[in-house]
Amino acid sequence: MSGGCHARLIDVELDSSIGRSTPDIEHERAVAIFDLIEENNFYPVGDEKGGPYKLIISLIERRLIFSIMRENNEKVATHILSLTPLRRVVRDYFLICESYYEAIRSASPSKIEAIDMGRRGLHNEGSQTLQNRLDGKIEMDFDTARRLFTLVCVLHWRG
Protein backbone atom coordinates (compact mmCIF):
# COMPACT_ATOMS: atom_id res chain seq x y z
CA MET A 1 0.00 0.00 0.00
CA SER A 2 1.43 3.34 -1.01
CA GLY A 3 1.08 6.63 0.81
CA GLY A 4 1.57 5.45 4.43
CA CYS A 5 -0.69 6.92 7.09
CA HIS A 6 -2.06 9.41 4.56
CA ALA A 7 -3.50 6.62 2.40
CA ARG A 8 -6.89 6.85 4.05
CA LEU A 9 -10.37 8.28 3.83
CA ILE A 10 -11.31 11.03 6.27
CA ASP A 11 -14.76 11.76 4.83
CA VAL A 12 -17.39 9.87 2.81
CA GLU A 13 -20.45 11.63 1.43
CA LEU A 14 -23.45 10.29 -0.45
CA ASP A 15 -24.34 12.50 -3.39
CA SER A 16 -27.95 13.68 -3.80
CA SER A 17 -28.27 11.10 -6.63
CA ILE A 18 -28.52 8.44 -3.89
CA GLY A 19 -31.76 9.86 -2.49
CA ARG A 20 -33.04 9.80 1.08
CA SER A 21 -34.62 6.73 2.61
CA THR A 22 -36.38 5.56 5.76
CA PRO A 23 -34.88 6.53 9.14
CA ASP A 24 -33.70 2.93 9.65
CA ILE A 25 -31.88 2.82 6.31
CA GLU A 26 -30.41 6.30 6.84
CA HIS A 27 -29.11 5.04 10.19
CA GLU A 28 -27.55 1.97 8.52
CA ARG A 29 -25.91 4.23 5.92
CA ALA A 30 -24.51 6.49 8.65
CA VAL A 31 -23.13 3.47 10.53
CA ALA A 32 -21.54 2.07 7.33
CA ILE A 33 -19.90 5.45 6.61
CA PHE A 34 -18.71 5.78 10.21
CA ASP A 35 -17.15 2.29 10.12
CA LEU A 36 -15.46 3.02 6.80
CA ILE A 37 -13.97 6.34 7.97
CA GLU A 38 -13.01 4.93 11.37
CA GLU A 39 -10.65 2.34 9.89
CA ASN A 40 -9.51 2.15 6.28
CA ASN A 41 -6.60 1.95 3.87
CA PHE A 42 -7.46 3.81 0.68
CA TYR A 43 -5.05 5.00 -1.98
CA PRO A 44 -5.91 6.18 -5.52
CA VAL A 45 -3.30 4.48 -7.73
CA GLY A 46 -0.82 6.95 -9.21
CA ASP A 47 -1.58 9.82 -6.85
CA GLU A 48 1.79 11.42 -6.13
CA LYS A 49 0.68 13.98 -3.52
CA GLY A 50 -1.06 11.54 -1.21
CA GLY A 51 -4.04 11.95 1.09
CA PRO A 52 -5.89 11.94 3.30
CA TYR A 53 -8.89 11.71 0.97
CA LYS A 54 -12.57 12.52 0.75
CA LEU A 55 -14.91 10.27 -1.22
CA ILE A 56 -18.22 11.29 -2.75
CA ILE A 57 -20.35 8.36 -3.92
CA SER A 58 -22.99 8.84 -6.61
CA LEU A 59 -25.36 6.41 -8.28
CA ILE A 60 -26.18 7.31 -11.88
CA GLU A 61 -27.81 4.98 -14.41
CA ARG A 62 -26.84 1.82 -12.50
CA ARG A 63 -23.27 3.00 -12.19
CA LEU A 64 -21.39 3.67 -9.01
CA ILE A 65 -19.31 6.84 -9.21
CA PHE A 66 -16.42 7.39 -6.81
CA SER A 67 -15.21 11.02 -6.82
CA ILE A 68 -12.00 11.27 -4.83
CA MET A 69 -10.62 14.55 -3.49
CA ARG A 70 -7.98 15.72 -1.06
CA GLU A 71 -8.79 17.29 2.28
CA ASN A 72 -8.74 20.73 0.59
CA ASN A 73 -11.30 19.53 -2.05
CA GLU A 74 -8.67 19.33 -4.82
CA LYS A 75 -9.89 16.69 -7.29
CA VAL A 76 -7.77 13.52 -7.40
CA ALA A 77 -9.74 11.03 -9.53
CA THR A 78 -13.19 9.85 -10.56
CA HIS A 79 -13.92 6.17 -11.12
CA ILE A 80 -17.14 4.86 -12.65
CA LEU A 81 -18.11 1.24 -12.02
CA SER A 82 -20.93 -0.74 -13.54
CA LEU A 83 -23.03 -2.31 -10.81
CA THR A 84 -23.84 -5.31 -13.03
CA PRO A 85 -20.97 -7.51 -11.69
CA LEU A 86 -22.16 -6.79 -8.13
CA ARG A 87 -25.91 -7.14 -8.72
CA ARG A 88 -26.19 -10.90 -8.09
CA VAL A 89 -24.06 -10.93 -4.93
CA VAL A 90 -25.89 -7.88 -3.50
CA ARG A 91 -29.28 -9.50 -4.21
CA ASP A 92 -28.17 -12.82 -2.68
CA TYR A 93 -26.69 -10.97 0.30
CA PHE A 94 -30.04 -9.24 0.96
CA LEU A 95 -31.90 -12.55 0.73
CA ILE A 96 -29.58 -14.26 3.20
CA CYS A 97 -29.71 -11.24 5.54
CA GLU A 98 -33.52 -11.51 5.57
CA SER A 99 -33.20 -15.22 6.40
CA TYR A 100 -30.71 -14.39 9.12
CA TYR A 101 -32.97 -11.79 10.77
CA GLU A 102 -35.94 -14.21 10.60
CA ALA A 103 -33.82 -17.02 12.05
CA ILE A 104 -32.70 -14.88 15.00
CA ARG A 105 -36.32 -14.74 16.13
CA SER A 106 -37.09 -18.45 16.13
CA ALA A 107 -34.38 -20.78 14.77
CA SER A 108 -31.93 -22.95 16.67
CA PRO A 109 -28.46 -21.53 17.38
CA SER A 110 -26.89 -24.00 14.92
CA LYS A 111 -29.23 -22.86 12.12
CA ILE A 112 -28.50 -19.19 12.91
CA GLU A 113 -24.77 -19.94 12.84
CA ALA A 114 -25.04 -21.75 9.49
CA ILE A 115 -26.97 -18.85 7.93
CA ASP A 116 -24.49 -16.36 9.38
CA MET A 117 -21.57 -18.29 7.87
CA GLY A 118 -23.29 -18.10 4.47
CA ARG A 119 -23.94 -14.38 4.99
CA ARG A 120 -20.27 -13.74 5.81
CA GLY A 121 -19.21 -15.82 2.80
CA LEU A 122 -21.39 -13.74 0.46
CA HIS A 123 -20.13 -10.54 2.08
CA ASN A 124 -16.55 -11.68 1.45
CA GLU A 125 -17.41 -12.57 -2.17
CA GLY A 126 -18.93 -9.12 -2.76
CA SER A 127 -15.97 -7.42 -1.09
CA GLN A 128 -13.53 -9.36 -3.29
CA THR A 129 -15.55 -8.50 -6.41
CA LEU A 130 -15.51 -4.81 -5.49
CA GLN A 131 -11.79 -4.94 -4.76
CA ASN A 132 -11.16 -6.66 -8.12
CA ARG A 133 -13.29 -4.05 -9.96
CA LEU A 134 -11.19 -1.28 -8.41
CA ASP A 135 -7.86 -3.02 -9.05
CA GLY A 136 -5.44 -0.64 -10.73
CA LYS A 137 -7.63 2.31 -9.70
CA ILE A 138 -7.80 2.27 -5.91
CA GLU A 139 -5.57 0.26 -3.59
CA MET A 140 -7.28 -0.91 -0.42
CA ASP A 141 -6.96 -3.76 2.03
CA PHE A 142 -9.65 -6.42 2.31
CA ASP A 143 -11.18 -4.92 5.49
CA THR A 144 -11.64 -1.58 3.70
CA ALA A 145 -13.20 -3.42 0.73
CA ARG A 146 -15.59 -5.14 3.19
CA ARG A 147 -16.64 -1.81 4.70
CA LEU A 148 -17.07 -0.27 1.25
CA PHE A 149 -19.14 -3.27 0.11
CA THR A 150 -21.35 -2.85 3.20
CA LEU A 151 -21.93 0.76 2.19
CA VAL A 152 -22.73 -0.23 -1.42
CA CYS A 153 -25.27 -2.76 -0.08
CA VAL A 154 -26.88 -0.20 2.20
CA LEU A 155 -27.23 2.17 -0.78
CA HIS A 156 -29.42 -0.47 -2.44
CA TRP A 157 -31.34 -1.53 0.63
CA ARG A 158 -35.04 -0.74 0.37
CA GLY A 159 -35.87 -1.94 3.88
Task: Give the pLDDT confidence score for residue 159 in this predicted structure.
Answer: 47
Q: Tens digit of pLDDT for each residue in 36-91?
A: 999 999 999 999 888 899 999 998 888 999 999 999 999 999 999 998 888 899 88
Q: How many other CB atoms are there within 10 angstroms of residue 27's CB atom?
A: 12
How many residues would you count in the chain?
Answer: 159
Task: Give the pLDDT confidence score for residue 16 in this predicted structure.
Answer: 83
- How is the beta sheet containing 75-82 ordered, strand by strand? 9-14, 53-60, 63-70, 75-82
Task: Give the pLDDT confidence score for residue 129 in this predicted structure.
Answer: 94
d(CA 32, CA 36): 6
Buried-exposed string 79-111: b where 16+ CB fall within 10 A, e elsewhere: eebebeebeebbeebeebbebbeebeeeeeeee
